A and B are shown apart, each in its own frame.
Chain A
């Protein structure tokens, strides 16, 4: 049996920022990950856990400090900008702040045409103006906006519509991989549902592979096939969406799920985690979660647990995952 090439593969990726006084902020701290074709990976975690940085590293919008990034089997970790450019159409990003991502002085048509002008067409030659116009109309239809929107400017649109425009721009060059950084968190619930549905439709129609960076677990559940939970720069749990969300093996995942206020009256009160996320500059020794973990034991503060499979397609970085009677010595 041959395995298909992952669309994206990360091998022990690290991203470290140097701070004054010789301190180092380890935003991404040794992450290995594979994203297979057609997969929708949800990357969840609280603010400061490094999920957005990781998302940017995946597309080499940020350079990694060490480790390897492979796009469709090709190592892009150290490719020069010039060599990277022909690969860019295959990997695109949707940003959280739909307003900041669109230049307010340019019309929607102009904004969307830019990638089509910059990158040559499939025949290797510059696209003709008529081809571009036809593609713009196609894109508008794809994201559910009228073609008349092309002549207007970003300020004329609501947050949800602007996010549709951002998605259209990301899709302009028919990418295989789309990384979306909190694409719906700035939107109202009723509008958020529309955009969540749009992502699902686009995947079915275009066969896209997605990485969603998000903090809202309910949205992630709706949108992803697989979930990776990050805490202080590392993945602490990874597996099929319903496995992770309904049978969390890491105490942090369990706490994160329990903390979501559920829209029903009489739900059990949230289990409270004490304290805040520690600073990634001084991350705790041993298990990075042990300072807040309700089940922490002596071993947890001394020895860092590695990500290991507890079931097929379900990995966890914990010494004492629930249901395991004899923890490995």
Chain B
């Protein structure tokens, strides 16, 4: 690795456990990654893989009774895990902001969009109402909201899904955050609107110098936006590395299978999609060994006793799989998807 400056966010061995039936269940196990300045990092996984829980834990937003968060998450050298609520509250919405999947439920329906964005600005900065509203209108305009002054006076239900999501991003950016955590920001949107929002997110690095941690289940979104990607499976890291490497030479069979199970938009249509049999295990029934073992085509004796440790494959790529260390790495992927008539 090049001698990086200190990363903006440095997460090491993050674990999140919740009590259930008298024992602790680990929803997230030993997740480590970092986000550098002005970088977009993708966190991908299927539902229940722990990607949202990871983000919520970073923001100190899990208030489930008895939850235990351990490990370390340093934001500009400040430890977030176990930070005093008051200090965390100053960071949240200020230096670290979050975009949620469903802007309809993230906004309160009883106040206007503008009121809600003004409130956040005034919570973090000493500004008059008038000055706060001016900033709100400017932000909405920057996000491509037509007629921003009037839109600010409207209620969430009066806006389309795409406009609501733009307002949500404007609100997240209102205090110039250095880190934006976006949890499935485009999942509820149509593809043509999704393309606009992704374009907006890519532009934030230059226009606001913000880093983005993008949580998604869509490998297409990752490929188009993230420079580095982390793949989670059943609360554990399966693989991480530069996005281009991950797509060309996935080192974990789960990453490879996930990419293969996406129906191709171009090239030959497979008679059958290479689906992964079965479903991901719930945290309670996670096997002792590799969590993907029961669904893996390459599973063998070494996978079963304990989860394989993350092994470095080279060039920033890591995979929690025994295959590369046993000298039997996966073949590079065929680039059938790359072909276009």
B5 within 8 A of A: no
Mark out the residues of chain A between 208 and 249 whose CB falls within 8 Å of any chain B CB in the assembled complex: 215, 217-219, 221-222, 245-246
What are 13 pairs between A and B in contact, CB < 8 Å?
A188-B46, A196-B273, A222-B270, A259-B194, A259-B195, A261-B194, A261-B195, A264-B223, A264-B335, A270-B198, A275-B146, A276-B160, A276-B163
A46 within 8 A of B: yes
B65 within 8 A of A: no
Given A197-B273, A200-B272, are A260 and B191 neighbors across the interface (CB < 8 Å)?
A: yes
What are the residues of chain A within 8 A of B163 when measuring CB–CB? 276
Q: Are B244 and A266 neighbours in the complex by a CB distance under 8 Å?
A: yes
CB distance from B296 to the nearest CB of A (A): 12
Q: Are B279 and A158 neighbours in the complex by a CB distance under 8 Å?
A: yes
Q: Which of B247, B261, B271 has the most CB of A within 10 A?
A: B261
CA of A265 to CA of B229 in the docked complex: distance in angstroms? 12
Mark out the residues of chain B between 39 and 67 whose CB falls within 8 Å of any chain A CB in the assembled complex: 46-47
Q: Are A222 and B337 neighbours in the complex by a CB distance under 8 Å?
A: no
Q: Are A194 and B263 neighbours in the complex by a CB distance under 8 Å?
A: no
B82 within 8 A of A: no
Question: Which of B91-99, B173-181, B213-221 lines the interface with chain A?
Answer: B213-221
What are the residues of chain A within 8 A of B223 when measuring CB–CB? 261-265, 267
What are the residues of chain A within 8 A of B265 when measuring CB–CB? 217-218, 221, 245, 257, 260, 262
Mark out the residues of chain A between 256 and 313 whose CB falls within 8 Å of any chain B CB in the assembled complex: 256-267, 269-273, 275-277
A160 within 8 A of B: yes
Q: Are A262 and B337 neighbours in the complex by a CB distance under 8 Å?
A: yes
Q: Are B191 and A264 neighbours in the complex by a CB distance under 8 Å?
A: no
Given A222-B273, A261-B224, are A215 and B191 neighbors across the interface (CB < 8 Å)?
A: yes
What are the residues of chain A within 8 A of B271 when measuring CB–CB? 200
Q: How large is the interface on A (under 10, 10 to 19, 20 to 34, 35 or more residues)?
A: 35 or more
Q: Are B341 and A246 neighbours in the complex by a CB distance under 8 Å?
A: yes
CA of A86 to CA of B235 in the docked complex: distance in angstroms? 50
CB distance from B49 to the nearest CB of A (A): 9
CA of A160 to CA of B295 in the docked complex: distance in angstroms? 15
B258 within 8 A of A: yes
Q: Are B224 and A262 neighbours in the complex by a CB distance under 8 Å?
A: yes
What are the residues of chain A within 8 A of B277 when measuring CB–CB? 194
Contact of B224 among A194, A219, A270 (CB under 8 A): A270
What are the residues of chain B within 8 A of A258 when measuring CB–CB? 195
Contact of A265 among B47, B247, B261 (CB under 8 A): B247
Contact with A along B251-277 (1 / 0, CB 8 A): 000000111011111100111111111
What are the residues of chain B within 8 A of A264 when measuring CB–CB? 223, 247, 335, 337-338
A192 within 8 A of B: yes
Q: Are B261 and A193 neighbours in the complex by a CB distance under 8 Å?
A: yes
CA of A215 to CA of B270 in the docked complex: distance in angstroms? 20
Given A188-B217, A264-B337, are A221 and B195 neighbors across the interface (CB < 8 Å)?
A: no
B199 within 8 A of A: yes
Mark out the residues of chain A between 160 and 217 whose CB falls within 8 Å of any chain B CB in the assembled complex: 160-161, 188-194, 196-197, 200, 215, 217
What are the residues of chain A within 8 A of B47 when measuring CB–CB? 159, 188
Given A261-B221, A265-B223, are A194 and B193 neighbors across the interface (CB < 8 Å)?
A: no
